[in-house]
Structure 1
Amino acid sequence: MSPFDQYYARTALLAAQGKRARMQRTVGTTIIGLSLIPLLMLASPAGPGGALRYVAVAITVGGLIMAQWWWRRQWPSRTQSWIVVSIGTAGIAGTCVLLVDPQIGLLGSAGLSLITAYTAFLHSQRVLYLTWAAAVATVAFLAVRVAQTDVWLAISGAVVALAVILTTSALCRIAVELIEPDHLLHPREIDPLTGLLNREAFDMHTATMLGSHSRHDDQYLVVVAVGIDDMALLSDMDGSHSTLHARVAVAQAIRETVRHKVPLAHISDSEFLIADVFKANDPSPLVNRIRMAITTTPMRLTASIGTACSPLRPLTALPTEQIIDGLVTLADTAMKQSRAQGGNRTTYAHFPTPTMGPDGQE
C-alpha cells in the first residue's frame, strides 16, 4: 500500500469511468436515509427518551447538512470526506447507543459497514483502521450491555455485526486493489476538481509516452490545447458554481473522447492539454470529436482549440523536455489565436523542428 492517501487518484478513476456523479448521488442518498433513522426512532418506544431526543435530532440535522456536500456539483474535497467519515461514524454509533434496547442497537451497529466500506474504497489504510477501531468499540460497548441479560445473544450479535463490518470493507479494499492500475497517480499529480493531470504531471507522462515510441518510425506527436470559450461571461451570468460545473463537464467530455491512458491535463481555469501519437499528421478527427463532445455537454459549451503536430523522426536527437515545451507552447499559441478570432474554431500548427515557428491554418 502506498504511504499516501489515494483519495484523488481513486476519484479520478471514478471520473474516468463516468461514474463520479452516480457515486455522489449514491452517497448523498445513503446519508439522507441514515440521517432520518434517529428521527424515525423518536416515534418508537425503543427510541431515545428525555434529553437524548435532542441528541437524535442533532444527529439527523448534521447528517442532512453533510448530504449537501454530495448533492452539489463539485466533488467533495478529501478533508470534507474525512469529516463525513468521522461524523458518519459518530452518528451511527451514537444512534445505536442511544436506543433503549441495546439488542436493537447491536443489530443496528452493522450499519457501520457502510462507513467502513466507503473508507476502504477511497481512503488510506490508516483511516480504515481508525473506522474499524471505532466500530469495534461500539459493538463491544453494546455487546456488554446485552450480556447483562443474555451472554450468548451478546456474543452472537457481536460476531454477526463485526463479520459484516470487517468483511465488507476488507472485500471492498481487495476489489479496489485488484482493479486499480499498477501505479496510481500521486495526489500531487492530480487536479482535485477534474481528476485530470496537472501541467507538471502532463509533461512527465507525455515524456513517458514519447519514450515508449521509436522516433525512427513514421509517427507524429500531437499536442492539443483546448480553451473553454466565454468563461468570464459564464461566471458573470451564473456565478462560480457554473464555471466549476463547466470545467468538470468539459473534463469528462474530453476524457471520454481521447484514447485511454493518453496524457490529459487541466492546466488552468479554462484550459486543457492532450498529447497523443498518431500515424498521420492530421489531428482533425480527434479535434472534431473533442469539439462535438464539448458542444453536447449540458451547458452547450464551445471551445477554442489549437494543435501542434511534429513527425518523430526529425526529433531523434532533441531532448524530450525541449520537444514537449515547444509543442505545448505552439499549441497554446494556436489556441489563443483561435480565441482571438472569435472562438469556437481550431488553428493547426506544424512543428518540424523547435526552431521553426507555427504555420497557422484554419
Structure 2
Amino acid sequence: MCGALLWLLRWPTRRQSIVYSLSAGIAIGAMCLAMSNPYTGLMGCSIFAVIGGVVAYFHTSALTVVNLTLATVCAVILSYRMIATTGDLALTAAAFITVAALNVGVPFGIQSLMQTLRTDLRGSDRDSLTGLHNRRSFHNNVYELMMLDRPRTGKYLVMAMIDLDNFKQLNDTQGHAAGDEALVMVSSTLQENCRATAVIGRLGGEEFLVADIAASPNPARMAERLREAIAKIPIAVTASIGTAGAALDGYSARDNLELIDALIRTSDMAMYEAKRAGGNRVCHFSTLVSVES
C-alpha cells in the first residue's frame, strides 16, 4: 500500500524501486510460509511472478534471478510441508509446476520481449543502406556525447558536413547499384578514419555528418584526412566538406540542442562554399549561423 501511494505521488528512483521489489518479495515469501494450509501457501508463491515481471521490465537479470530464487525456496519448503501433511504427490507436483511455470515464464518472457523491442528500436535509428545513424539518431547521440563529456574546459563540439561531388552523374552513368556501393564504401571510410567517440550519420542522399569533441574549434586535420580517404576509394568519387565548431559552454538541454542545430547549419553552408569552389576540398566557417536564420 505504501509503495502504491509513493508511485501515485511521483515516479520512484531506481534505488527506491529495487528496495520496494525486494521488500515485496520478502513479504510475499513470509506470507506464504506463515499460512497454515501448505497448498494455499504454495499456490500463493505464484504472486512472485508479478514482482518478477516488474523487476524484469525495470531492472537487471541478476535481480530477476534473486526474485526467482526466493520464489523457488518458498515453493520447495511448502511442497515438502504439503507432502508431509497430505501425502498427495500428484497434487503437490502439479501445484509446484504451475508456480514454477509462472515464475519463469512471466519475467523471462518480459525480458525476451524487451530485448526484441530494443533491437527493433536500434534498427529504426539506423540508415538501412549504410548502417550509420539517421538524422534523429544522430541528434540524440550527439546530445548524449555532449552531456557525457565533462569537464568542459577547453572542449569544443566540432561538426563536418560531407557531400559527395558529382554523385548524380555516377548514378546516371553507372547505375544506382554503383551509387549504393559508393555510399557503403564512404560510410566504411568515415568509420575507419574517425575516432571511436565520433558520431557519424547519413542525412539522406549523398550527405553525411560527423560530430566529435575536440580541443580545437577547427577540425581541419580530421576533415582533410576524411577528404583524402574518400578520394582513394575504388569508385571515383570525391567529397566537399564543410566544418564548424563551438565551445561547450551551455549545460542546459535547450542550449545543447540549439548548438547542434547551429553547427549543422553552419557546416552545411561551409560545405556549399567548398562545392562552389570546385569540390574535393574542405571549407571551415568560424562564425555560427544563428538559430533564427
TM-score norm. by structure 1 comes to 0.45
Q: Would you say the 8 A contact 2:242–2:269 is kept in 1? A: yes
2:91 corresponding residue in structure 1: none
Confirm or deny that 1:328 pairs with 2:264: yes
Superposition map of 1:267-346 within 5 A: 267-313=203-249, 315-316=250-251, 319-346=255-282
1:203 corresponding residue in structure 2: 139
Q: Report the alpha carbon displacement of residue 215 of structure 1 after superposing the two structures with TM.
A: 6.4
Confirm or deny that 1:190 pairs with 2:126: yes
Q: Secondary structure at the match of 1:300?
A: coil
Structure 2 CA distance for partners of 1:353 and 1:329, relative to 1, 3 Å: closer
Q: Deviations over 1:275-311 (max 9, x none)?
A: 0000122311101110111011001321000011111
Q: Deviations over 1:177-199 (max 9, x none)?
A: xxxxxx86611100010010001
Confirm or deny that 1:236 pairs with 2:140: no
C-alpha distance in 2 between matches for 1:260 and 1:213:
14
Q: Secondary structure at the match of 1:217?
A: coil
Q: Would you say the 8 A contact 1:228–1:271 is kept in 2? A: yes
Q: Report the alpha carbon displacement of residue 237 of structure 1 after superposing the two structures with TM.
A: 1.1
Q: Report the alpha carbon displacement of residue 340 of structure 1 after superposing the two structures with TM.
A: 2.1
Task: Report the number of matched residues.
Answer: 174
Superposition map of 1:139-288 within 5 A: 186-214=122-150, 216-288=152-224
Q: Secondary structure at the match of 1:297?
A: coil
C-alpha distance in 2 between matches for 1:278 and 1:307:
13
Q: Report the alpha carbon displacement of residue 321 of structure 1 after superposing the two structures with TM.
A: 1.2
Q: Would you say the 8 A contact 1:307–1:334 is kept in 2? A: yes
Structure (1 or 2) with the larger CA radius of gyration? 2
- Where structure 2 has 5 or more consecutive residues not aligned to the other structure, the ranges are 1-117
Q: Report the alpha carbon displacement of residue 203 of structure 1 after superposing the two structures with TM.
A: 0.1
Q: Report the alpha carbon displacement of residue 325 of structure 1 after superposing the two structures with TM.
A: 0.7
One-letter identity of the residue aligned with 1:203 = H
Which aligned runs of 4 or more in structure 1 are off by greater than 3 angstroms? Answer: 315-318, 351-357
Q: Secondary structure at the match of 2:204?
A: coil
C-alpha distance in 1 between matches for 2:251 and 2:277:
35
One-letter identity of the residue aligned with 2:157 = L
2:84 corresponding residue in structure 1: none
Q: Report the alpha carbon displacement of residue 341 of structure 1 after superposing the two structures with TM.
A: 2.2
1:47 corresponding residue in structure 2: none
Q: Report the alpha carbon displacement of residue 355 of structure 1 after superposing the two structures with TM.
A: 6.2
C-alpha distance in 2 between matches for 1:326 and 1:225:
12
Structure 2 CA distance for partners of 1:322 and 1:355, relative to 1, 3 Å: closer
Q: Report the alpha carbon displacement of residue 352 of structure 1 after superposing the two structures with TM.
A: 6.1
One-letter identity of the residue aligned with 2:154 = D
Q: Would you say the 8 A contact 2:217–2:247 is kept in 1? A: yes
Q: Secondary structure at the match of 1:186?
A: helix
Q: Would you say the 8 A contact 2:263–2:289 is kept in 1? A: no
One-letter identity of the residue aligned with 1:234 = L
Identify which of 276, 285, 293 aligns with 1:349: 285
Q: Report the alpha carbon displacement of residue 316 of structure 1 after superposing the two structures with TM.
A: 4.3
C-alpha distance in 1 between matches for 2:136 and 2:206:
17
RMSD: 2.2
2:65 corresponding residue in structure 1: none
One-letter identity of the residue aligned with 1:209 = L
Q: Would you say the 8 A contact 2:266–2:289 is kept in 1? A: no
Q: Would you say the 8 A contact 1:216–1:316 is kept in 2? A: no
- Where structure 1 has 5 or more consecutive residues not aligned to the other structure, the ranges are 1-182, 358-362
Identity of aligned residues (%): 29
